[in-house]
Structure 1
Amino acid sequence: MINKQPPSGISGFPVTPLNENGNIDETALTKNIEFLLEEGLESIFIACGAGEFHNLSSEEFESMVKLAVSVVDGKVPLYTGVGGNIKEAVEKAKISERHGADGYLILPPYLIEGEQEGIYEYYKTIVTSTDLNAILYQRANAVLEAETLDRLVEFPQVIGLKDGLGNMELNIELTQRFRNRLAFLNGMPLAEVTMPAYVPLGYNCYSSAISNYIPHISRKFYNALLAGDQHTVNDIYEDVILPINRIRRKRKGYAVALIKAGMEIVGLPVRNTVRPPVVPVEREHYDELKQILDKALQKYPPQKNTITK
């Protein structure tokens, strides 16, 4: 029986560690997932945006799903990333089901923008291919209007909507209309930046890039936000979140690459390597991030040291 309870709290999105030959480092990936579990993240999303989904072969995707299912071992909900061309998306949804994932996040499908009917058919084909939970992603060229979403929520597999677009007018319309039917997840780049605007709309889950390397700070921020502790929220904005976000915006692809750099800086076994067209973090920006993290870890030390090289 598939658990239809949608993700809540802070979701972990492991990266795809690469070894010196450019292949997946499964030992490092295992430690990445274990670290997120030890830090209490409420769900794991494997092989999604932070995991360089579009740069994975089907064989690599399947190996990552199998590994993640084994490591997570039912401790928290486990989701995968599917998307791209429709045949591969369906194949990856079925791989996810075959290996015991709880569901998947559907990433944007295509180079061009599709009409609403085309986007509907794309999502419908994927979500009806398995019984797994499906979370739809508002991002890039895959943006659902309320009327299209109204047709998709007829499928019980559709349990959530994740926003990576930032159109607050649309977000208000969708949360008001579907708040009793869907869970809403904040998937904006460095979601902590926008979470104070999303919480009042009913978003009770977000994907945290910084949780890959400083999850205790993300947790402290979110707890303060929910408790109305604006002083702590402001301090963490000033000390950590906004400085990191300024670096993220300096180069395209840093939404992924900067995570790996941060993980390497704090001692996790992840190299500052990515697959093209994403580029590694430049030394100047790497050093800037290190300075931010050094100061942040002094002011907000972790309660326990779970990082092992």
Structure 2
Amino acid sequence: MTTGTPFRGLSAFPLTPADEHGRVDTETLARLVERLCEAGVDSIGLLGSTGIYAYLSREERRRAVEAASECGRGRVPLVVGVGTLRTDHAVDLARDAEAAGADALLMAPVSYTPLTQDEAYEHYHAVTGASGLPLCIYNNPGTTHFTFGIDLLARLSRLPTIRAVKMPLPAGGDFAGELASLRGRTQLAVGYSGDWGTADAMLAGADAFYSVLGGTLPRLVLALVRAAQAGDAEEARRLDGVLQPLWDTFKTYGSLRVMYAILDVAGLGRAEPPRPILSLKAEARKQVLAAVEPLLASG
């Protein structure tokens, strides 16, 4: 297990390269993890949405954790996603992740039948009872169609292993107001995702940013996060401006599809998104290439 605080600073989320049958390419994954360790990110977020957790079997998820843990052990904290539909399966995944070397857990309330606030609470309560690892709540309503009420977050924050929450970008951009509300009701470390909000979130005082781009081009995103942490708004805004063309492709095509294209363009590996998700077509890839090529030298 790695010492350190997994829910502060830049948490970088790499792709989980896998073949068409959902078998993880552990060699390419290990290279991506090595790149993140060398860059000095604050934590690695494995098997998040960018890590296609919902498309992988239990066995493949464990293989991914083992490969990442073997590479990063003792260097960078490894936060592992254990979201899945059934509570008993989430319990199994949490135990698997802990046994395979994870330092912390990340869990979204994945659902088909919409969950109530009480059902989500019981889901998290069961998983925290199965593992002693610190856990980050993954609030991702765009994917899960579940939104955490502040009362539920306050209730969950009283469970002994729940230490953090990963929030979507706030409607209207009121980071300061949301941070004040969350900190007034909970003791959770508050982080955000949605890469085009990195500068705003960190300048507003968020504890962490959970970055898709940071999983592949860590140095550039880390520079932005460090500038914001230091209160250097001018430099943070400058770097955000450099990244704006890429943020535009995220918004247009979806960050997951864009990251598969970047993996190829950057020469870091070849992988296809899990079907039914399709790779970007030629014109879209051309736009991604134009946005990312100027960044590769500093990524």
- Which whole-Å CA distance do the structure 2 matches of 1:286 and 1:277 have between them? 18
Which whole-Å deviations, capped at 9, do the CAs of 1:263-301 have from their partners, x for residues lacking one? Answer: 211111233x1102322122212121212222234xxx4
Q: Call closer, same or farther: CA 1:127–1:4 in 2, change over 3 Å.
A: farther
Q: Could you report, residue by residue, the CA deviation over 1:209-254 in whole angstroms, capped at 9, with x for unpaired residues?
A: 22233222112222332344444333333332x2112112223xx3
Give the counterpart of 1:182 among 184, 188, 191: 188
2:154 equivalent to 1:150: yes
More displaced 10-residue stretch of structure 1: 94-103 or 18-27: 18-27
Match of 2:216 among 213, 223, 230: 213
Closer/same/farther in 2, CA of residues 237 and 150 from structure 1, 3 Å limit:
closer
Question: In structure 1, how many angstroms separate the alpha carbons of the residues matched to 2:169 and 2:127?
Answer: 22
How many correspondences in the alignment?
A: 291
Partner Cα distance (1:17, 1:234) in 2: 32
Q: In the alignment, which residue of structure 2 is the partner of 1:122?
A: 123
Once structures 1 and 2 are overlaid, which stretch shifts more, 164-173 or 200-209? 164-173
CA shift digits 1:118-176 (9 cap, x unpaired) = 11111111111111111101121332222222222222110111102524455541133
Give, in whole Å, the separation in 1 of the partners of 2:4 and 2:106: 14
Q: Which amino acid aligns with 1:233?
A: A
Structural mapping, 1:11-160, within 5 Å: 11-19=11-19, 23-85=23-85, 86-140=87-141, 141-160=145-164
Cα pair distance change 1:294/1:3, threshold 3 Å:
closer
**How does the TM-score come out when normalised to structure 2?**
0.88
1 CA distance for matches of 2:39 and 2:68? 16
Partner of 1:79, secondary structure, is strand
- For 1:18, the aligned partner's letter is A
Q: Quote the residue 2:165 is aligned against.
A: 161
Structure 1 residue 37: Cα displacement? 0.7
Change (3 A) 1:165 1:296: closer
- Aligned CA RMSD, in angstroms, stands at 2.3
Which piece of structure 1 moves more, 194-203 or 84-93? 194-203
Counterpart CA distance in 2 for 1:238 and 1:202 is 20
Question: Closer, same or farther in 2 for the Cα pair 1:3/1:302, shift >3 Å?
Answer: closer
Identical-residue share of aligned pairs (%): 24
**Matches of 2:219 and 2:4, distance apart in 1:** 28
Residue 191 of structure 2 aligns to a residue in which SS? strand
Q: Which runs of 5+ in 1 are unaligned?
A: 304-309
Provide closer, same or farther for how the CA distance between residues 102 and 230 of structure 1 changes in structure 2, counting only shifts above 3 A: closer
Q: Is the 8 A contact 1:184 1:202 kept in 2?
A: no
**1:213 partner amino acid:** T
Structure 1 CA distance for aligned equivalents of residues 2 and 35 of structure 2: 25
Alpha-carbon distance between aligned partners in 1 of 2:215 and 2:2, rounded to the nearest angstrom: 27
SS of residue paired to 1:194:
helix
1:307 aligned residue:
none
In the alignment, is the contact (CA less than 8 A) between 1:172 and 1:201 conserved in 2?
no
Distance of 2:206 and 2:27 partners within structure 1: 34
Q: Is the 8 A contact 2:24 2:63 kept in 1?
A: no
Distance 1:294 1:183, change over 3 A: same
Task: Look up the match of 1:194.
Answer: 197
Deviation at 1:2, TM superposition (A): 8.7
The normalised TM-score by structure 1 is 0.86
Tell me, in whole angstroms, the C-alpha distance in 1 between the residues paired with 2:203 and 2:183.
10
- CA distance change for structure 1 residues 21 and 158 in 2, over 3 Å: closer, same or farther? closer
The 1-side partners of 2:216 and 2:282 are apart by 18
The separation in 1 between residues aligned to 2:197 and 2:44, in whole angstroms, is 21
More helix by share: 2
Render the CA deviation track for 1:40-62: whole Å, top value 9, x for unaligned: 11111212211101000011011
Matched, 1:173 2:175: no
